[in-house]
Amino acid sequence: MRIDLHCHSTASDGTLTPAELVAAGARAGLDVMAITDHDTTGGWVAAAAARPAGLRLVRGAELSCRWYDADPPIALHLLAYLFDPAEPRLAADLTRMRTDREQRAERIVELLRADGVPISWPEVSGYAAGGSVGRPHIAQALIRAGLVATTNEAFASQWLGARYFVPKSDLDVFEAVRAVRAAGGVPVFAHPRATRRGRVVPDRLIEELAAAGLFGLEADHEDHSPAEREEVRALADRLGLVVTGSSDFHGTHKTVRLGAFRTAPEAYEKIVAAATGVPVLG
Ligand code: AMP
Ligand code: FE
Ligand code: FE
Ligand code: ZN
């Protein structure tokens, strides 16, 4: 079984529509794929409607979280699988995070424009096309303006990585774990050792999150070195958490391919068995 539990569509910062995403998943030989857009379930209906026979669809999201006990607080991502999208608290959290994303992206665009960069909020907002707006959409405008050649370049420190970085007001990670569980979902810490993305949290926090209801850790991910993958596996073993692997596919915003990293069937079955929010489709 080929299982990829972390994929983005145009409902956030991926470049394939939800319908194109599930079709691409089937073409890539996946048996199971998860749609996990940033802070939204906006792609669920279209993905479900277009799901090819033979492809099982796990509906999920990737929540923008923060560990507020660190100084300064550390941003992290929590994958949430098979939760009830109508559960009021989690739904309100998602709405709030998307609104904040818009205000923050607009602010970044203002900072760039103040320095004479010829991009605009309507342009960036148009790239997001109603989905969760993110820095990759601003990167797209920078590419269009000829200032950088790739999304990755736009994340360099002189652009969106630092000089024009504005933080989001993310969800407290403990609150997020509790909210996902309360909605019948299963929380998995995305790329917990991705040092190349910035500061990572200490094992102590992951222990506390495990005690609070965290279910798994994503070990196999392109942003983890082989040594980091092994560290994550060892930590998961010690804490009794499941281990996942996934592509974190973003279409042409990244180079990674669907199914490039995968989750073992046993881990997938445990996630499904622990979820009570919505069923796997297919
Ligand atoms: P945001 O959620 O708006 O803070 O933007 C972060 C998103 O940008 C992540 O979810 C990734 O999808 C993407 N991203 C981060 N770093 C890079 C990079 N170096 N190259 C391409 N995409 C990136
Ligand atoms: Fe992303
Ligand atoms: Fe992520
Ligand atoms: Zn992701």
User: Ligand nearest 5 Cα, by number?
Assistant: 4
Kindly list the domain boundaries of the chain, sorted by start residue. 3-95+168-274, 100-161
Task: Answer whether 136 contacts ligand 1 (Cβ < 6 A).
Answer: yes
For residue 211, how far is its CA from the centre of ligand 1 (angstroms)? 29
pLDDT at 42: 98
Give the DSSP per-residue string, 62-93: EEEEEETTSSS-EEEEEEEES--TT-HHHHHH
Residues with beta carbon < 5 A to ion ligand 3? 77, 190
Confirm or reject: Cβ of 151 under 6 Å from ligand 1.
yes
Residue 196's pLDDT is 83
Residue with the smallest CA separation from ligand 1 atom 17 is 152
59 lines ligand 1 (CB under 6 A): no
CATH number of 3-95+168-274: 3.20.20.140
Contact, 223 vs 240, CB < 8 A? Answer: no
Pick the ligand that lies closest to the CA of residue 190: 3
Put residue 253 in one of left, alpha, beta given phi > 0 → left and psi -120 to 50 → alpha.
alpha
Q: In this structure, which ligand is nearest to the CA of 254?
A: 1
Q: How far is the CA of 76 from the centre of ligand 4 (A)?
A: 11
pLDDT tens across 217-236, in order?
999 999 999 999 999 999 99
Q: How far is the CA of 64 from the centre of ligand 3 (A)?
A: 8
CA atoms of 165 and 227, how far apart (whole Å): 29
Closest Cα to residue 41, out of 102, 132, 170? Answer: 132
- Residue 213's pLDDT is 98
Q: What is the pLDDT of residue 272?
A: 98
Q: What is the mean pLDDT of each run of 10 residues along the chain (282 residues)?
A: 98 98 98 98 98 98 97 96 98 97 98 98 98 98 98 97 95 98 98 92 98 98 97 98 98 96 98 98 97
Query: Ligand 1: which of 124, 155, 253 to mutate, judged by most atoms within 8 Å of the beta carbon?
Result: 155
**Which two tokens mark 171?**
């969800």
pLDDT at 31: 98
Is 152 a pocket residue for ligand 1 (Cβ < 6 Å)? yes
Give me the architecture of the 100-161 domain, per CATH: Orthogonal Bundle (1.10)
User: Which whole-number Å values give the CA distances from 203 to 5, 70, 208, 240, 263, in the listed order?
Assistant: 23, 13, 9, 14, 22
pLDDT in tens, 264-280: 999 999 999 999 999 99
Quick one: which ligand is closest to 135's CA? Answer: 1
H runs (alpha helix) in 40-172: 44-50, 88-114, 121-128, 135-144, 151-154
Supply the pLDDT for residue 198.
Answer: 86
